[in-house]
Amino acid sequence: MGYKINNQEYQLKEKYTLKEWGEILKLLSVNAQPQDAIIQLLVEDKIKQLLNLILDKQVDGELYEEDIEEISRAIQDFFSRKTSLIKNTQISSSNSTEKSNKQSKNLKV
């Protein structure tokens, strides 16, 4: 499934490195729903950064309003493929926070 953005064809990457995931999670608030993330990225002018992380090649040129439908579709597809990994990251993060809090309480004894 391809995406035509600014008259160029793009695909979602097949896999992402852990470094790319770190950068993606920094760009997004992990708790955001896909539609909220798109708005947030537009407001903060970071949509191109995200596209450059999730698509198979760098996005060239300016992005225009006629590209928004394809951009939204690419981001929605990315989220639908990767939602379970993001959820697991949240669970893992909350578990490590709980462990850290328990360890801190034990040290205060």
pLDDT of the residue at 44? 78
Q: Give the residues of the chain that fall short of pLDDT 70.
A: 29-35, 82-109
Give CA–CA dist 85/63, Å, rounded.
28
Q: Please report whether residue 24 resides in a domain.
A: yes
Q: Please report whether residue 106 resides in a domain.
A: no
Q: Please report whether residue 62 resides in a domain.
A: yes
pLDDT of the residue at 37? 72
Q: Please report whether residue 95 resides in a domain.
A: no
Alpha helices in 1-109 (DSSP H): 18-27, 34-43, 47-54, 68-107
Count of domains forming the chain: 1
pLDDT of the residue at 109? 45
Q: Please report whether residue 89 resides in a domain.
A: no
Asked if 30 and 90 touch (Cβ cutoff 8 Å), the reply is yes
Q: Please report whether residue 98 resides in a domain.
A: no
Q: Please report whether residue 33 resides in a domain.
A: yes
pLDDT of the residue at 12? 96
CB atoms within 10 A of CB 86: 17
Nearest CA among 66, 69, 83 for reference residue 28: 83
Q: What is the pTM of this model?
A: 0.69
The β-bridge partners of 3 are: 10
**Torsion 67-17-26-29 (CA) sign:** positive
pLDDT of the residue at 107? 53
Return the structure tokens found at 32.
């955001």
Q: Which structural domain, as residue segments, surrounds residue 51?
A: 3-82
pLDDT of the residue at 80? 85
Q: Please report whether residue 21 resides in a domain.
A: yes
